[in-house]
Structure 1
Amino acid sequence: MVSAQMAFADEPAVEQYTYGSHPDIAKVVHQDQVPNVCGVVPIQMVYLDHQGQKHIMEYSVMGNGCHDN
């Protein structure tokens, strides 16, 4: 049986996006869907850089659940 820690040992550390950073994004592999909440929420994007290295970036977005009534 493989432990969860060992199963994710090959995963890169999650990088926090900061304003002004310029990530080397060659291809987006996966991006979380923006949830239906009213407020700012963190989502993650998995991408490959131009050398083929996998990265996981977390950043904040406004949820899709805010509506003017």
Structure 2
Amino acid sequence: MFALSACALPTAIVAALPAVADELPVEHYSYSMPLDIARVVSMESIPSVCKVVPLHMVYEDSKGQRHLLEYEVMGSGCVD
């Protein structure tokens, strides 16, 4: 999942999820899932906690359809 968040999603896009996310079914990401992300609409910020947390991203595919993707990331609050 780190590769997805680091490469495909610029940090400038980080924002609160729009209200339209309430209308979309949640798709749960798995590493074998093919993704067709043409444009990121919004995504949640990684919280400052030291554990794996679920995040959500709204994106449009190459056909212009919006999707709500839930994926897991390691929080940014861990200290060495």
Same fold per superposition (TM over 0.5): yes
Q: For residue 65 of structure 2, what is the aligned residue in structure 1? A: 53
TM-score (norm 1): 0.81
Query: Percent identical across equivalent pairs?
Result: 54
- The superposition leaves residues 13-46 of structure 1 with CA deviations (integer Å, 9 ceiling, x where unpaired) of 0100011111111000101000000000000010
Select the structure that is richer in strand: 1
How many Å separate the matches in 2 of 1:32 and 1:55? 14
Select the structure that is richer in helix: 2
Q: 1:22 aligns with which of 26, 34, 37?
A: 34
Unaligned runs of 5+ in 1: 1-6
Unaligned runs of 5+ in 2: 1-18
What is the aligned-residue RMSD (CA, Å)? 1.7
Per the TM alignment, residue 50 of structure 1 is displaced from its structure 2 partner at its CA by 0.8
Count of aligned pairs? 61
How many Å separate the matches in 1 of 2:24 and 2:46? 22
In the TM superposition, structure 1's runs of 4+ consecutive aligned residues that sit over 2 Å from their partners are: none
Are 1:13 and 2:25 an aligned pair? Answer: yes
Give the letter for the 1:65 counterpart: G
TM-score (norm 2): 0.71
Name which one, 1 or 2, has greater alpha-carbon Rg. Answer: 1
Give the letter for the 1:51 counterpart: K
SS in 1 for 2:69: strand
